Amino acid sequence: MACTKTKRRARNRTQRFTSNVFSMFNEAQISEFKEAFLMIDSTKDGVIDKHDLEDIFISLGKSPDDDYLNDMLSQAPGQINFTMFLTLFGEKMMGCDPEQTILNAFACFDPEGTGVISENRLRELMTTMGDRWSNEKVDELFHGAPIHDGNFDYKEFTRMIMHGKEEEEEEEGGGGKGLLAFSTLETVLEQPV
């Protein structure tokens, strides 16, 4: 009898938390997360598993070992379906301001605080530091990004990745979906390979 009550309580808590997760994000954000989830779920079985993670890393030019992938998967309390995917984001976003974190990262390369970084300087940084992106990968990043007069507007870019593009831009079918999937994966995993 006690076991049945315990199971029922756990199920009710899960249902409440699930509904809370969906209320944490607006409809556009949920749609973007769903798109990112579907890009990562290469087997199209509704669950992100080790094979899916391996495929996404390989597509990004990385080759993680099995221990690393298993460690990543062990961070979730169960299978990573879409609801769990949102839950992981909700947990990462609670108590922190990811928008400010992104702005601060870009601001390191903007000593005058103008809100922009030269497109050429950003390309140089991204191809020579850290993960060292290829020029093709940087071109993907810049496609649909707010670049005006050779300057990358990182404040507007941060707003776009955190809140989505303006409605009129969405109607025009702007790019950047691959970037969201990539940044989504990096945000959830927060571990360099």
Q: Comparing 15-24, 86-95, 134-143, 148-157, which segment has the lowest mean pLDDT?
A: 15-24
Do the domains spanning 2-93 and 98-189 agree at the CATH topology level?
yes
At residue 12, φ and ψ (nearest 5 deg) are -65, -40
For residues 122-140, average pLDDT: 87
Q: Are residues 87 and 80 in contact, defined by beta-carbon separation less than 8 angstroms? A: no
At residue 165, φ and ψ (nearest 5 deg) are -75, 165
Alpha-carbon gap, residue 103 to 27, rounded angstroms: 24
Is 101's pLDDT higher than 80?
A: no
CATH topology assigned to domain 98-189: Recoverin; domain 1 (1.10.238)
CATH topology assigned to domain 2-93: Recoverin; domain 1 (1.10.238)
Of 187 and 44, the one with more pLDDT: 44
Domain boundaries, the chain: 2-93, 98-189
Which residue type, as a one-letter code, is found at position 31? S
pLDDT tens-digit profile of 30-78? 888 898 899 899 899 999 999 999 988 888 778 888 998 998 888 888 8
pLDDT reported for residue 126: 87
Contacts of 191 (CB under 8 A, 6+ apart): 68, 72
Measured distance between the N- and C-terminal CA atoms of the chain, rounded to whole angstroms: 47
Sign for the pseudo-dihedral over CA of 8, 10, 13, 19 = negative
For residues 102-112, average pLDDT: 85
